[in-house]
Amino acid sequence: MSYISQLITFLNQAQTTDLHTAGYDKEYKGLSVKVSFGQANRAKIPWIAFVAEEQHVSNGIYPVFLYYEKYSLLILAYGISEVEIPKLSWGLHYPVKIENIIDVKRFSYRYGKSYVFRKYFLDPNKENYGLDSKIIETDLDSIIKDYHLVLSGNRIIESNRKCKNVEIKEEEEIGIEGKRRVITSISAERNPSLRKKALKYHGKKCRICGFDFGEAYGEKYGQDFIEIHHIHPLSEGNDYIERLTNYKTDLVPVCSNCHRMLHRKRNKVLSIEKLRSLLSQKYRHK
């Protein structure tokens, strides 16, 4: 049974001030389902949690849908309670925290420490907000499978779906400037061929220091390993709205060190030129 109809009801209600949740299914695949739009007042982030026995929303871990209205974003997350620090850990290999993709501090959003399983960008003009019931079903099933793995003591989840592309990390940046929604890398993210094109166009050397993983670690092992930095004009304070990613101008290959340095300061991403000017001659590869 797909969960989509419950989810759509939830998203519809999230557009209103109605806080009642009595009408929702109480159970899904053996897990108890908790829905919340807030207690006395409308919460900033309404959620649907799938909670196993002995786990609690206030103390535990659980798969959870979180709705970030401002971003038109629904996140299916490896949820972690915030009231109490849970004893169990998800044990993910390459976790991506929600606070890494959303400026939770700025909007004092909750659940920043929970891990992203998948994000769904919602389109209010499309049927079911553009959500695909099959995908929702598959995603929910696999995160619940992970959940059972963790609960049964097999703590390390071997195949975290988030890490399919460990080799070439994609930038994920979402921000809000004024009232405009800014999502700079959706198209890149939805379009893996953009990555390929970027690498073909820019080459696989770090644009800042010239490091070449293939050269350094051998073609057999190191080849094709490079990160992709997404230049997002938002950081330069421009007014920017959602737009297509141009792999020639927006995506730049950088090594892991330089990439970290570009993002070292939380609210300011350095420009490629700036970081290159800071880099000592000694560390420049030819």
Give least dist CB 132 to Zn ion, A: 29
Of 171 and 189, the one with the shorter C-beta distance to Zn ion is 171
Give least dist CB 233 to Zn ion, A: 13
Find the binding residues for Zn ion in span 224-243 (CB under 5 A): 229
x-or-dash string of contact with Zn ion, 147-176, rule CB under 5 A: ------------------------x-----
209 binding Zn ion? (CB under 5 A): yes
Kindly state the number of chain residues that form the binding site for Zn ion, as judged by CB under 5 A.
8
Rounded CA gap, 151 and 78, in Å?
13
Side-chain-facing half-sphere of 218: CA atoms under 13 Å: 2
- Binding part of the chain for Zn ion, among 159-167, 195-203, 210-218, 270-278 by CB under 5 A, reads 210-218
Single-letter residue type at 75: I
x-or-dash string of contact with Zn ion, 244-283, rule CB under 5 A: -----------x--x-------------------------
Of 181 and 276, the one with the shorter C-beta distance to Zn ion is 276
Binds Zn ion by CB under 5 A, chosen from 47, 211, 225, 247? 211
Give contact residues for Zn ion (rule: CB under 5 A).
171, 206, 208-209, 211, 229, 255, 258
